[in-house]
Structure 1
Amino acid sequence: MPNRIFLFLVFLSNVLYADLPHEYFIELNLKLSKAINHKNVINEIRKEEFQKFKNTGNEDYLLAFKYASLYFYDLKKNGVQFFITSNEVLKLNNGKYPIITTEANNSIANYLEGFSSEISLKYINEAIANELQYNKKSNLIPHLYHLKGKLYFNLKEYNQALYFFRLALSHYKSSDYLYISSMHNNFGLVFAKQKQYKKSIEEFEKSLSYLPKIQNITEEVLDFKYLVYSNLGEVYYDLSDRKNTLYNWGKVLDYLKLNPQKVNERSALIFNLYHCYSNQSLLRERDDLIIFLKKVYESNIEHNDEFKKVFASILLDYSFKMGNVSDAEFYAQKLNDLNEKNAHLKKEQFAEISNLLNKNIIENVNQKFDYQVERQNRKIFWMSFTFFLIIVIFVATYILLYNKRKKDKQLFVSKNLISEQQKKLMEQDLLIKNEKIKNLHLNLNLKQETEKVFLDKIKKVRKSDAENAEQVLRELYFDMNNLIGIDKKSIGFSDESSAENKQFIKLLSDKYPFLNEQELQFCVYFRLDLSAKEISVLEKITDGSVRVYKSKIKSKLGLKKDESLIEFLKSI
């Protein structure tokens, strides 16, 4: 019964607080990672999780839906929504599933990198601490160290940045060529900021050396390759090495001409390349760049504000140099509008982010408090329930034990009563038998005495004369009647003995079927402890024949010479 109650308790707990297994979110993470470049697949996953939430009401499925949305939203295009969803995921999860805790903190840190590296560090530290606690061999750890290094780089703490970049490199697998290449690119950027240009160039060259090892060069790898060329060109620019600067930046420009949609991502390089051409009086190259920029600007490509600012800034400078004042005024106004728009947008975004962060902090504090209250209430409930359950089990156990003891006591009394009755019956039976044996002995003694008298009187008849013969015969008649009476008194006991002998013969015959009837009868005599002389009188044979039968029977029964046949037969 206690086991059944315990099982019911477990079942009730599972019903009230059913959580999805941690493996569910690990598998979900794997599916989302594989579909990272397929928004339609990710959207289907989101819909499935939301439908599960609608069907079951289990908030873990809502968490799964929100988590899948992080892969669906674009960080650059849907930044605010991405940030809001990341906070919702963090709040819904509330530390329940470690993989979600890490991913949500990492998402927030990535978004906040462009606004505040100090605040972003707080979230990336949470992600790293959580991952180290629950999954030290996680493949995500080197990426987290990488982001932490970037944040220190943004904060101009270059030694710290270098430390975490190296830490990330030590955690990547030897087959992760792109990530290894990325770390050497980061080393080059740090050394460039520290004006260790020789080391910087070596690291950029090392970064490029890993890329040919990557099979199936993807667009992502190509983008990164030309990013390294861009960084390498900047180092040579700082060293005033015109030839190598233009060589590396020229490679990037050629790549952009083949892929004009990538210009948005290389606005800074375009700006630097324009001024490099202008300063070096490379007018033809400068004019070709202007033609290319105008062509890109007038195309159907969607441009971000950063590219628009660079374009307006370059065209403003170019218009002044070409003496075209009206164009210069136009682009100056355009650049001013873009700056104001950008400043206003950043102000709004910063205010929105600040409000969201403050709201998130307050909600987290309230949530932790509510969670503690809920946890305490749940603890009190389960303690009360457990206490009540213990009392019920104790009472039930006591009743069961009491009833069992009561039954055992009644059974014991009944057994004792039966035992006493059986004992009394056995004692009575023994007394009766003893009395019968005593009477039999008395009768036998009396019979023997009567028989002696009977013999003496027969002798008198032989010696007496005819006159006294009639008197003696009358006496003999009287003695004969006495003997018959004694026999009648002994007949009951004889019948009992006869029944007992029959049972003995049956048992002996069943156990030793090789004994014949004569031998079985002799076994009865031996069991009664009759002497050889007594048996010889009963069977009308000699004493020696009786002893021969006895030896033969012992041999058949497998008894040794010194073993007692009488004791053996009595034990049956």
Structure 2
Amino acid sequence: MRTVLALFFILFTTFINAQNDSKNSDAYVKRLVNLIRENNNNRIKSMSYIQEALRFEKEIADSTRIELYVTAGNCYKDQESYYLALSYYYKALEIKNEKESNRSFSILNNIGGCYYFMGNYKKARYFWESALKKFESNKSSQNVEGSLIYNNLAVLEKEHGNYARALEMLKEFLKRNEKLKDTFNIIIAYENIADVNVKLKEQDLAISNLSKGIGLAKKIKSDYDLASLYTDIGNIYLSQPSRKDSSYYYLSSAFNIANRSDFSDIKLSSSEKLVSYFENQKDYKSALYYLHIAKSLSEATINKENAKKVSRLESEFEEKNKQKELLQQQKKRERYFISGMVLLLLFSVIVFLMFKLQKSKSEKKATENKLLAKKLDEKNKELANNAIKMMQASEIFQTTQKELKEMDPKYEDDRKMISRIIMDFKKGSQALNKSEFEKLFIETDEDFYKKLLDKYPSLTKNELRLCVFLRQNLSSKEISAITQQSPHSIVVARSRLRKKLGLEESQSISNFLIQF
């Protein structure tokens, strides 16, 4: 019972410690997630924080684990490591579906984005449409992140030539963000709608939508959006011979903003458009100037893309190694856990078997003691009964001898016969007493003699016999009758035995001998 209570206490303490460790790990991982977001542009730092956080992924709450997986997925997606990003998004989706499936639209949207950038448009459409269904079925669907699903699907529809469907999705995207008052997404909506207008040869509508976007970009002072919109509207004017001056104004403005703010992508696209503009104007010197800029930017972009590819390969290689290491650590922990459980189980079985064995031994010993006590009791009764019979027989012999001695026969032959009868009585009485006593002496509890001799090795055979009688609480008279010794001899023998046993006069010798 004590062992069971001790095991319960250990398990309970372990559970409490695990709960406290889990809370501490949860808070620590949340801090790491924030650091990952803050250092998203620093690949080395962000990767380091991700790996550190993943060490505790089994010890944190499901909500924190989802947040960690999504953040890691976003980080890898930004680094164009789409396979790694997908692995974390899928982990997050699995937990999210178990907890609140109707709110998994954000993760589904991210998965669709990875497939889109990987060129798998079929899967991208599947996940974006699944995300849209979840988003629209959710009661709290007024969500900026969720509204991006409309824009993503619109881009996909536009690339497949489904311009009507693309416009429908973009108008919904614009409407939702106007309600949410998200200016950045409203600018994106106007720019993408204008792009569809261009595809539909609706240049005036395109210019109108881009102008609305330019007004909002100026309002929030977003240079990047402003440069991008200037490039788009300048490109539209480029195709209109009567608006070439406007084209130059917007394209040069876009180039200057991009050059000043180091927006290399916009600087590249605006410089390429300016090359076309100056070629049309037959200003080859200016065209050559912007061509050199475009070429250098193009090469820089290619180098940057190559660097990204190398970085992506390095990240994937490092991630695989980390995953392998984590897997090995997990397997190691599982082995330790299983070994611990096996040892605990084995220990419990051993304790149980020892308990059962001890109980069995105790029960067997108790049964044996009970049988021995019963046997001893029977022997003691037999000894007592025989002692009584011997005493009675001795009294009869003595009475008969006395009566025979008192007889006074006339003839010598009669006197000789009576003497012979008296002698035979004496011999028979002594033989009976001796044989019966020896039998009982041997059959009486052997442990009694062994224990007595272990403590008092100097005891003689006669003293041992006397101890047997005294243990039965027989009187000196009864012992005298059995042993055919005088009562005085028995008293003297008792006195000597008491001294050998070291007993005081006040101590009962019978009670003392019962202890053995």
Normalization by structure 1: what TM-score? Answer: 0.55
For residue 392 of structure 1, report the CA deviation from its aligned partner.
3.3
Q: 1:111 aligns with which of 67, 75, 94?
A: 75
Q: CA separation of 1:387/1:369 partners in 2, compared to 1, >3 Å: closer, same or farther?
A: same
For residue 373 of structure 1, report the CA deviation from its aligned partner.
3.4
Shifted more, 394-403 versus 228-237: the winner is 394-403
Separation in 2 of the partners of 1:406 and 1:65?
66
Corresponding residue SS for 2:139: coil
For residue 245 of structure 1, report the CA deviation from its aligned partner.
0.9
Corresponding residue of 1:86: 50
Corresponding residue of 2:338: 379
Corresponding residue of 1:189: 155
For residue 355 of structure 1, report the CA deviation from its aligned partner.
1.9
Corresponding residue of 2:238: 278
Q: How does 1:289-300 map to 2 (within 5 A)?
A: 289-290=250-251, 292-293=253-254, 296-297=257-258
Corresponding residue of 2:290: 331
Q: 1:236 aligns with which of 184, 190, 197?
A: 197
- Say whether the 8 Å CA contact 1:180–1:210 is kept in structure 2: no
Deviations 1:351-382 (A, max 9, x none): 12212211221332243234323422332233
Corresponding residue SS for 1:195: coil
Corresponding residue of 1:164: 127
Deviations 1:305-337 (A, max 9, x none): 223323433444445455555544443333333
Q: How does 1:537-556 map to 2 (within 5 A)?
A: none
Q: CA separation of 1:363/1:201 partners in 2, compared to 1, >3 Å: closer, same or farther?
A: closer
Separation in 1 of the partners of 2:195 and 2:215?
17
Tell me which amino acid in the other structure corresponds to 1:18.
Answer: A
Q: CA separation of 1:381/1:125 partners in 2, compared to 1, >3 Å: closer, same or farther?
A: closer
Deviations 1:449-508 (A, max 9, x none): xxxxxxxxxxxxxxxxxxxxxxxxxxxxxxxxxxxxxxxxxxxxxxxxxxxxxxxxxxxx
Corresponding residue of 1:4: 5
Corresponding residue of 1:129: 94
Corresponding residue of 1:563: none
For residue 148 of structure 1, report the CA deviation from its aligned partner.
1.9
Q: 1:70 aligns with which of 30, 36, 39?
A: 36
Unaligned 5+ runs, structure 1: 29-48, 50-62, 418-572
Deviations 1:40-76 (A, max 9, x none): xxxxxxxxx4xxxxxxxxxxxxx45433322332x3x
For residue 342 of structure 1, report the CA deviation from its aligned partner.
2.7
Corresponding residue of 1:501: none
- Say whether the 8 Å CA contact 1:184–1:206 is kept in structure 2: yes
Q: CA separation of 1:22/1:248 partners in 2, compared to 1, >3 Å: closer, same or farther?
A: farther
Corresponding residue SS for 1:149: helix
Q: 1:142 aligns with which of 105, 110, 113?
A: 105
Q: Does 1:207 align with 2:173?
A: yes
Separation in 1 of the partners of 2:24 and 2:295?
52
Q: Does 1:343 align with 2:344?
A: no
Separation in 2 of the partners of 1:187 and 1:374?
44
- Say whether the 8 Å CA contact 2:275–2:287 is kept in structure 1: yes
For residue 14 of structure 1, report the CA deviation from its aligned partner.
4.7
Name which one, 1 or 2, has greater alpha-carbon Rg. 1
For residue 205 of structure 1, report the CA deviation from its aligned partner.
1.9
Q: CA separation of 1:365/1:290 partners in 2, compared to 1, >3 Å: closer, same or farther?
A: closer
Q: CA separation of 1:231/1:25 partners in 2, compared to 1, >3 Å: closer, same or farther?
A: farther
Unaligned 5+ runs, structure 2: 377-516
Separation in 2 of the partners of 1:340 and 1:20?
55
Q: Does 1:367 align with 2:330?
A: no
Tell me which amino acid in the other structure corresponds to 2:174.
Answer: L
- Say whether the 8 Å CA contact 1:267–1:306 is kept in structure 2: no
Q: CA separation of 1:396/1:358 partners in 2, compared to 1, >3 Å: closer, same or farther?
A: same
For residue 151 of structure 1, report the CA deviation from its aligned partner.
2.8
- Say whether the 8 Å CA contact 1:70–1:86 is kept in structure 2: yes
Q: CA separation of 1:22/1:245 partners in 2, compared to 1, >3 Å: closer, same or farther?
A: farther
For residue 255 of structure 1, report the CA deviation from its aligned partner.
2.2
Q: Percent identity?
A: 14
Tell me which amino acid in the other structure corresponds to 2:267.
Answer: K
Tell me which amino acid in the other structure corresponds to 2:130.
Answer: L
For residue 298 of structure 1, report the CA deviation from its aligned partner.
6.6
Deviations 1:174-228 (A, max 9, x none): 33223454333333223222222222222222222333433xx3xxx11101111
Tell me which amino acid in the other structure corresponds to 1:358.
Answer: F
Tell me which amino acid in the other structure corresponds to 2:3.
Answer: P
For residue 4 of structure 1, report the CA deviation from its aligned partner.
1.9
Q: Does 1:264 align with 2:230?
A: no
Normalization by structure 2: what TM-score? Answer: 0.61
Q: 2:215 aligns with which of 251, 254, 267?
A: 254
Corresponding residue SS for 1:113: helix
Length, aligned pairs only = 372
Q: CA separation of 1:318/1:80 partners in 2, compared to 1, >3 Å: closer, same or farther?
A: farther
Separation in 1 of the partners of 2:327 and 2:256?
56
For residue 21 of structure 1, report the CA deviation from its aligned partner.
6.8
